[in-house]
Every structure is written in C-alpha cells, then in structure tokens.
Structure 1
C-alpha cells in the first residue's frame, strides 16, 4: 500500500488554507457589516420587546401570556436579523437549510406534544379573545366558580365548595362556557305554590310589590310573577327578578331573603301555601269518598249480622 508523500499533503493543505484566508479577507467587510446588522437587530429586539411588553401586560390578564408573546416578538426580530446577516455574507444555502430544519423540528414537536401544544395554542387564543378574566364567575364542563389564575396550558377555578379545579385550556376553548360576570347582572327564579282557592293575580301583585321594595333588586319594571303549572295541591307560580352579579349581597343571601319575603307577604295577605294533599278513592270509576265507602261497608255488615240473627231465631223455633 502506497502512502501519499508528506510534501504533497503539505502542499494540499497550504492551498486550502490560502484559499480560505483569501476568501475570508475578501468577505471581511461583509462579515463586519453582518455583525453590525446582527447587533442592530439585537438592540431593536430589546427596544421593541420592552415597548410591546408594557402593552401586552396592559392587554392580557395573564403575565405568562404577555411574557410569551413579548418573547416571540423579540425572537422573530433576532432571527430575522441573523438570517439577513447570513444572507449578506453569502450563506444563502445555510439560511435555507436552517428554515427547513426549523420547520421539520416544529412539525415533530407538534406531533409529539399534541395535547400540550393544543392547550398552549388555546391559552394564547383565549388571551387574545378574553372570554373571561381573573375574578369572573364561570361555568364549564361541570365546574362552577371564580377564576383565580390563567396560565398558558390551563386555568385555575376556585369552586364555591372550596376546591381548586385545574381546567385544560382546550376544554374551555372548544366547549360551551358560561360567564356570569360578563354582563354584570343575573336573574333569580323563585318557585312558590298557592292554593287553588286563592286569586293568582292578587298573589302575583303582592309578591311583585314586596320584591320591588328591596334595594338589591334592579330592573324593577321586569320583576314579575308568572303562573307556571297546575300542581297536585297548588297552582305553581314563578318569581323572576334581577340583581347585580357578582356583588353584595351575595346570590345565596338574596335568594334566602326572597324566599323569606314571599312567605311573609303571602301570610300577611292570607294567601295559603298548601301542604301536599292526597285523596284516596277506592272506587274503580271514581266518585265515592273514603268516609262514604266506610259507612256503606258498615251498613252492609250490620244487615248481614241482622239476617244471620233472624235465621238463627227461626231455626230455634
């Protein structure tokens, strides 16, 4: 086996080094300009990042979302500066390779962490749309309570039972969500039954007038009582009225006071809230009351007893 001579190896390396040095000297002005471009874009990214960061923190409730969007803006500016600098040096192929590699890596990460990515994107989308804010009362997927924190991947809700529920953002983004705080008011419904002997219009007027005297009732012209249905032992009414929500007094305190008020006003106007009444009818076709049937049964038994005595007397004779 023959080995190349040392002189030939030295000559080959020398030619390569000389070519690289000459190319570097030729590109030296471009390299210097590229460094200046990269530095300028770095400073620009910092300035724009600070300005956009203040705007984002005012716009979004979540500091994480604001910080993320600010970082994305700064990253885009820096990457753009690096690509421009590389292109200025003449490394267009490197720029193309980096872009292709970034796309492939992003696609692979998206497939590998699909669930996390979906929650992440949903968190950003909700931060922009803002369907709710920290402190709002929301209900979604069986969770009902106050929003305590909004993160990039999930939202923390404190229920009225004292538990802290962690809800993935994709669930809040894809499903029906009720925000009780958005409009600032809420309607309360209180069912009540009155006897069939009482006047419905009188009961409705008494209840409406009593409720409109309450300070917590708003939209007093919309306070109303409607006849809902016929019950087993009562006419079922439904009271509607509006309150500020959330606010003071609380929802439970208002509903408690409303039920108490309805009970008192009906008592004052001698309107009966009936107990359940059951009438037992043993006749297949209906129409006979229990006391009448018992009386008939007693008379029948007496007649049978009298006939039996008469028969016994005749036999003795």
Structure 2
C-alpha cells in the first residue's frame, strides 16, 4: 500500500484497491462456504418458532381445562414461548459454528443482566410480584377489590401492575408490589356478605318497639340463609338520639351491591318508622345570648308637644 521514495512514504492506490478486493473476495468465499449452515440456522429458528406456537396452544388449552385464571395462563404461556425460542437461538448459533460468539453472548448477557437488575430493582420487584399474584387464586380478573385506598373491578393483572376500573369508570393502575405488600379486600371471593347499617331514633321512642319493627322490615326484604340472621343492637347515647346498628346478610360481589342493599334498607326502615310515628331526630343547636346581655329601651313620644310645634311652624 505504501512505497518509500527518498525516505518518504507514498500511498499506492492500486495496492489498496487490491487489498480491499481480496478481503471482499474472502468474505464472499466464507459466505458461500457457510451458506448451507446459514440456511440451516434460519430453518432451525423457523422450526422452533413453529414449535413454540404449537406448545403455546397446547399449554393454553390444558390450563383452561384446569380452570386456571386468565392472568396465570398469559404469564405461563409467555414464559414457555420465550424459553423455546431462546433454545432455538442457541442451537442456531451452534449450527453457524459460533461457539465463541455464543460464549461471549452469554457472558455479556450476564453482565448486562446484573447491571439492569441493579438499575431496575423496583421494576423487578413488580415483575416478581406480578408472578406471585398471577398464581394466587385470591385475585383474578373480574374481581372487585379494595386496596391502597382504591376500589374497583380488576381489569388486568400483568407483570408490572394491576389495573382496576372504579365505579366512576376511571382506570387505576396499582404497582404489583403495592398489592403484595399491603392488605386488600376481595368482595368477589365470597358470594354472601354482611351489610352494616347505622341509624338512630329519638329518646321518646319505645326502644323495644323500634327493635321489633326494624328486624321485621329487614327480614322481609333480605332472605337470611342457614347460619345467617339479622342482628340489631343499640350502640350509643347521642346528643339528640339513641344510635343503633342493624346487620344483615345479602348477595354481594362488588361495592355496588352493598350500596343498593343499604338503599333498600333505609327506604323500608324510614317508611315503617313513619307509619308507626317513630322519629329519627336531627341535631339541633340552640344559641343562648344570655338574659343580661340585651337591653331594651322605651321611647316616649309627646304627641301634644309635637302637634303644637307643628302648628307653630
């Protein structure tokens, strides 16, 4: 490439072009020689992708027969697919006789994985929490849950978060780690639930009669099954009323069921109390300004004097 003339280095274009051509010719030769292996590697990848699709369908069908939740099925299928394709990738590298490259890839993947793990600790926590949630029967898509001061129907459980739809139709995304580390209530896990309703009556009321009427009203509206009953108890002497609580069982799968159960109970109790002249008082505040704090004045008008002065005018 370089010639020396008078102890000076001179660039030779012909030699440079010849060198580049030789390298390209060597690459073409290697490509032709390795073309069968390259085609075989592609066929291996296509084969493993096809196998992954078949296995995924089989696993999905098998898990559906076992009544597994949709979130468990999706995550399990994703893992199976990734593992099969990864095996096919490594076999394709072996077919290309890239063992050194394979070793480098594995070593690099280990270093990169460590770096990513340190940088994404929170994300990995959510990922592992998502795996845990997916295999827990206490939380499934369609359930109504209360957690982290939010309540709604579970729309999705993925590897990062849980998506719930609130009663106002807004979506709330809660990180999986928050669900795993904090308590949550699942209203859909049981078909029946106890509804607690607070109420009060005036001090002039017959308390035994109030209890009898309330129990009769609730028992007529809500059927109580075996080992279930309506419970009534006075709880407190208030400033203007006596407070009581009534508890009864009803079918509940979401917060809306509790809301309208209370609605029906309040309408029926209020109607029955009116029919029986039972008052539900409300707090009354009396403002006392004190007897000695106000003074009155008496104004005397001399009508005669006023009339005389008017005449003079």
**TM tier, smaller:** 0.5 to 0.7
Q: How does 1:1-317 map to 2 (within 5 A)?
A: 47-56=54-63, 59-62=68-71, 66-77=73-84, 79=86, 98-215=105-222, 221-246=228-253, 250-277=257-284
d(CA) in 2 for partners of 1:49, 1:249: 38
What do residues 32-65 of structure 1 show as CA deviations (whole Å, max 9, x unaligned)?
A: xx99999997776555433223234552323xx6
Gaps of 5+ in 1: 1-33, 283-289, 298-317
Label 1:55 to 1:106 Cα distance change in 2 as closer, same or farther (>3 A): farther
Q: CA deviation at 1:230?
A: 0.7
Asked whether the 8 Å contact 1:204–1:224 carries over to 2, the reply is no
Higher normalized helix content (fraction of residues): 1
Q: CA deviation at 1:267?
A: 2.8
Label 1:129 to 1:78 Cα distance change in 2 as closer, same or farther (>3 A): same
Range that drifts further, 52-61 or 115-124: 52-61
The size of the alignment, in residue pairs, is: 264
Asked whether the 8 Å contact 1:83–1:95 carries over to 2, the reply is yes
Asked whether the 8 Å contact 2:143–2:186 carries over to 1, the reply is yes
Q: TM-score, normalized by length of structure 1?
A: 0.64
Q: TM-score, normalized by length of structure 2?
A: 0.65
Range that drifts further, 167-176 or 43-52: 43-52
Gaps of 5+ in 2: 1-40, 293-313
Q: CA deviation at 1:152?
A: 2.8
d(CA) in 2 for partners of 1:146, 1:157: 5
Label 1:92 to 1:249 Cα distance change in 2 as closer, same or farther (>3 A): closer
Label 1:173 to 1:49 Cα distance change in 2 as closer, same or farther (>3 A): same
Asked whether the 8 Å contact 2:222–2:249 carries over to 1, the reply is no
